[in-house]
Each structure stands twice: as C-alpha cells, then as structure tokens.
Chain A
Amino acid sequence: MNATLPEWLNPSPDETRFREMLSPESSWTLERLAAESRAITLRRFGRTMTLYAPLYLSNHCPSGCAYCGFASDRTTPRSRLEQDELHTELAAMKNLGISDVLLLTGERTRNADFDYLRRSVETAASHMQRVSIEAFPMSTEEYRELARAGCTGITIYQETYDREQYARLHRWGPKKDYAERLDTPSRALEGGIKTAGLGVLLGLADPQQDALMLYRHIRHLGRTWWRAGLSISFPRIRPQTGGYQPPFSVSDHQLARMIFAFRIALPDVELVLSTRESPAFRDGMAGLGITRMSIASRTTVGGYTEPENNKNGQFHIHDDRSTEKFCKALKAKQIEPVFKNWEHAYNGPSSPEPAPPAT
C-alpha cells in the first residue's frame, strides 16, 4: 500500500520540532507551548478573531462514511436548498452580521451536482463578501469555474491519513478513493481557488500520527502553490445521527497541545475552530492560537430560517450561543470579533488564467 503514497508524505527533517511538541512526553510543557503560541498569534494576527458561518446546501450523499450523520444508510430526511430558498437563508445570515460563508454539500449526486454548486456559489457571492465551499472533490477545470463564480476557498478534510482505517470507514461511494481525495486541494489551488483548508476528523485514528501527516500535507501545498492561503481545522468527532463510536478519544489537553504545536510550527497559517467545541474550550483557545471561528451555526439544510437548532444535523453542535453572546465573551477577553475581513473585489481566481496552448 505504501508504494503508491506520494513522496511528500514521508518524514522530513523540518518536522522534528513539530513532532516533539505534539508528544505529551516532550520537554515542551503545555504551559510553555501556550505562552509561545499566544505570543506568535498576537504578533501575527493581533487581538482579533475572524468569523464565518456554515450553510448546508444539501444533505444528499451517496457515500457510506461510517462516522457521518448524512451517510446514505442513515434515515435522515434528505433535502436541498433551491436558489430562492438559498436567497432567503443568506438574507437571514446577513441579518446576523455574517459576511463570510462556507457552503456545504455531501458527495457528488444528481441532486447536488457541479452545476447546482456553481449556481449556489454565484447566488452566495451576490450576498456575501466571501464564499468558500466544503463539498465533493472536483477537477481542476471545475475548480476554475467555481473560482470565476466567486468561490475563494475550499475546505477538504482527508478525515484520516491512516490508509487502512480510511478504507474501513469509507464503506462505499466516491469518497473511498484515498488518493483522489489527497490530491484534491492541489487541484483546487491549480484551478485558481485562493485558500485551501485542511483537517482530520480527530478520533478516527491515532491523532498524533494524523497531525503529523496533516503537517506534511500543508507543507507540501505551501511549497508547491506559493500563492495559496492555507488553513487548518481541528474537528473532533461529535455525536451524530447513526451513533458511531470513534476508536480514539482526543482530550481537551491533547487538542490544545496540537493547536499550539501547529501555531508554533506554522506561525502564519490560519487555525480554525468550529462550534463542534464547547463554549469554554472556544473561549479559552481564543487568543492562544485560533484565528478563525464559526458562529451561530446550523448543521441542517435550511437551518437559518428554522426557529431553533434541529437535531437532524450532520453533527450536534456544542457551542450554540447566539452571535451576541459569543461576541461578548470574545470582547471580555480583549479580542475583537471581525465580521467583515474581506472585500468582494478580491474574489477573482488566484493567478492569471493559463495561456491557451500555442498552435
């Protein structure tokens, strides 16, 4: 199996310090890591937190990911937003002050295919300053079309870099192809998408090993696509419809150590924490390394026009505080919540269009 892995996933000399920081036995105590991580974050990002919110376009999915509430064998009711409903959802989000949106779908289906996604990006870009997607892997040409439609970022998690565990968890469907998924951020960046967000679903495999592979992936992308904006998310697996029990538990201490290690090893990369995490953990990590957080999240299709959080989401959110309450907590920590940190004028593809081949 190892023979087909790309060379950049092999150990490299530049990761020695990072590997050491990840280990609970290292000479880096948690306090020492926190102090260094805080200092770097302050210098580079200041006393601010950039905010975004997810918007689920569709929960149709042909894949059988054992850990996901939207897997095709779940009884979750399926739906997708039509463009008029999408306008309504976006308007509701704008009322909350959101100007930076992440559009989500399942894997590619007839119900939510590329054309549907492209139209949705165009619709979202007409309301929001910044539009990113977390959807299915696409071709370079498709990513280029999305970039032209106003999509500036993609989030794509490898979920786990452990190939055997990956094969076990992805029981059927297009997501079974490990190598294709691994190559997806490269195709997006080649297609002119400006930022790639990576992550592993913490709990699926050995978290230290997954963090190390994730670090190699990020370093590879940074060296290959020099214009790329890079971000890392830290999703810990949450209870969801289907009741999957993850084989590894990742404690608050372990997760904090991982976040600090990434901040110190990659001082300029955006680190993201979602509403999967508890209010106490999110408030605590603000200022210590995390620079981007989601707010007021709904994980159901059409969630922003529903009166309250619905339990049929992709996962159960943990921090369900209102925007006002969340911002108040940040301000109490002398951190300014930033709703608009982007400008529509910056929404073109990252690099010039490729020249047509010579004839």
Chain B
Amino acid sequence: MDSLQIGTYTFSSRLILGTGKFSSAQVMLETLRASGTQLVTVALRRFNRERPGDDLFTPLSTMAGITLMPNTSGASTAAEAVQAARIARELSGSPFIKVEIHPNPQHLMPDPIETYEASKILAKEGFLVMPYIPADPVLAKRLEEAGCASVMPLGSAIGSGQGLATAEMLRIIIRESNIPVIVDAGLRSPSEAALAMETGCSAVLVNSAVAVAGNPPAMAEAFAGAVEAGRKAFRAGIMEKSGTAVATSPLTTFLGPAS
C-alpha cells in the first residue's frame, strides 16, 4: 500500500490540514472530516483550557482517526519554540511538533537559523520534528542531518495563494531528500496541490485555501481528490515534456561497440 510514513506513524491520506482561520470550530471539524485527513496541525496559542468555546485542542483531540501535530506559530526565537514544543507535548501527548518560527509577524517568513537551532534540540529530545522552512535545499539537508522527521518547505508565502512560486527549489529538495518533503503554505487551489504531488512531494499542508473558501468542507474534499490524483500520477510515471525526451534512433553508433 502506498502510505506516508513519518517515524513509526503511517498515514493513508497525504493531505495535512491546518486549523486556523476557520469561521468556527464546528466548520473546522466538518472540513477535517470531509478531507479524510489523518494528520492535523494546531497552534499551541489556540489551546485554551480556561474557555472551552475558544479552545481548538479539545474538539480535535476527541476526533477519531486524527493525529495531532501541534505547532509553535507565534514563537520568534529558537528558545521560545523549544519551550512551546515541550508545553505542547505535555498538553497533547503527541510526539509531533511543527517547528514554526517567524520573527516578523507581518510576512510570517520562517527564520532558517532559529528553526535549525530549535529543530536540533527537539530532535535530540525525541520529538518527531517537522520544520516549516524556506524552500532552501541546503537547509533541508542540514535539517535531515539534525534528525528531523520531515521538512516542510513553503510553496509561497502563508496566506498568499501564490501556489508553487518556489517550484524550482522544491524539485531539488525532493530529489535530494531521504525524509518526507511536505509542501506547506501558499497553495490556493486543488490543481496546485495536484502539481505539488506530481512533482514528488510526500504530502501537502493546506489551511487558508480551505478555511476561507466559500464552502470549506467541499473544498477540502476537492483537495483530497487532487492530492490523491497527483500522487497516483507521480507513481505512474509522467510522460516527459517535449524537448526533454530521448531520441528514438541511435545517435552514438559512430562510437562503435563498448569495450
């Protein structure tokens, strides 16, 4: 069976969903159900033990078939992210941590230096570290060496809907990686998710595109179909584009037989 393996966890769905930006917890839960997702990220800052109506953790933790991946969104340094990760593990019991460190709260670009430092520490502490990173092939390999369970390079800026603006770098990251590569952030439509999967990434993470869609559950279903189609296409072997194909008649017979 073609499943996504992260640490000892196996997922048949390759669509990971975020839980922010929804109009209500109820719409969020309906959307998750419609998507068939098995791995869901939730910000520690949206855990609220004091006001149940404002809490995202409790309703998610009671949902069957879902593994939670808390994230450190809001942290601006490695030290803050490490502390947040420990609190999140304590509260959720999940070994997953999506390391998300953006020192500038406006553009929300991940800080590669702080992310690397935090990931190193958390991997040593036994977390399944899933760092959200710029699409930088060198950083991706450094994080793999540091013991991360996957890397999550951005397709484009969070909430921008600019799709796979980083496609060229993503192809290098995917080609060189020994751990799952999950495209995170920037996807606007199912066709972009399909394209990411066709490129060979292991999964995609989507949030804004479904949360602010006219009908979030229906859009989640559309993304699920696209992710599945893209994955199947990748495994089937996609026809080469014209110009990249091998010539049909031999061009090198003048070299004689190989000795």
Contact = CB atoms under 8 A, between A and B. Distances in A.
Contact of A222 (B21, B25, B75, B106): B106
Contact of B51 (A44, A331, A339): A339
Contacts of B208: 43, 46
Contacts of B83: 345
Nearest to B158: A44
Contact of B80 (A269, A336, A337, A345): A345
A336 B55 CA distance: 12
Contacts of A268: 105-108
A48 interface: yes
A339 to B, nearest CB: 4
- Contact-residue bracket for chain B: 35 or more
Contacts of A42: 212
Contacts of A97: 50-51, 54
A323 to B, nearest CB: 10
Chain A interface SS verdict (over half) = loop
A341 B45 contact: yes
Given A227-B104, A336-B24, A43 B160 contact: yes
Nearest to B188: A43
Interface residues of A, number: 37
B249 interface: no
Interface string B5-43: 000000000000000111111000000000000000000
A99 B50 contact: yes
Contact of A346 (B51, B76, B104, B106): B76
Given A94-B50, A97-B54, A229-B105, A345 B23 contact: no
B112 interface: no
Contact of B211 (A46, A222, A269, A346): A46
B178 interface: no
A152 to B, nearest CB: 10
A230 interface: yes
Contacts of B105: 194-195, 229, 268
Contacts of A14: none
A43 B161 contact: yes
A343 interface: yes
Interface string B57-101: 000000000000000001111011001100100000000000000
A340 interface: yes
A48 B20 contact: yes
B75 A346 contact: yes
B20 to A, nearest CB: 6
A346 B74 contact: yes
Given A268-B107, A346-B76, A44 B159 contact: yes
Nearest to B108: A268
Given A228-B104, A229-B104, A230-B106, 20 more contacts: A42-B212, A43-B159, A46-B20, A46-B21, A46-B211, A47-B21, A48-B20, A48-B22, A97-B54, A99-B50, A227-B103, A229-B105, A269-B106, A331-B24, A336-B23, A336-B24, A337-B54, A340-B45, A346-B84, A352-B77
Interface of B: 20-25, 44-48, 50-51, 54-55, 74-77, 79-80, 83-84, 87, 103-108, 159-161, 208, 211-212
Interface of A: 42-48, 94, 97, 99, 129, 194-195, 222, 226-230, 268-269, 331, 334-343, 345-346, 348, 350, 352
12 contacts: A43-B161, A46-B208, A46-B212, A47-B22, A226-B103, A229-B105, A268-B106, A334-B24, A340-B51, A343-B74, A346-B45, A346-B75
